[in-house]
Amino acid sequence: MATRTALAAIVLFPEVGTVKCCFMFTFSSELATEPVIYNLGMQFRVVTTIRRANITEEKGWIVLELEGEKEDIEQGIAWVTGKGVRVDPADDLMEG
């Protein structure tokens, strides 16, 4: 489930009306075959950029930068956590 800290990782860019944030998604091997990131981008109008990733037979993680409207990102994070993905902030991995 997304933590309050994870949602607090959203950084507002008022000049363009969008936000940009970076999260680490951790998921089980069962979710590795589902197009979770693709669906997140398509269903919630969020631009996704993979910064780092590692997938093994047991689990996987992805450091993902999200850009879009704050409400769309929040709804997308809620949807991802509802699918069983753990979401943690990864601000320290975001490029300046």
CATH number of the domain encompassing residue 32: 3.30.70.260
pLDDT attached to residue 11: 57
Averaged over successive runs of 10 residues, the pLDDT of the chain (96 residues) comes to 52 67 92 90 96 89 95 96 95 60
pTM strictly above 0.85: no
Instruction: List the one residue out of 92, 93, 64, 68 whose CA is nearest residue 2.
Output: 64
Domain of residue 57 covers 4-93
pLDDT attached to residue 1: 47
Q: Structurally, how many domains does the chain consist of?
A: 1
Give whole-number Cα distances, 13 to 9, 10, 19, 44, 70, in Å: 13, 10, 5, 18, 10
**Cα distance between residue 90 and residue 10, in whole Å:** 10
Question: Percent helix, strand, coil in the chain (nearest 5)?
Answer: 35, 40, 25
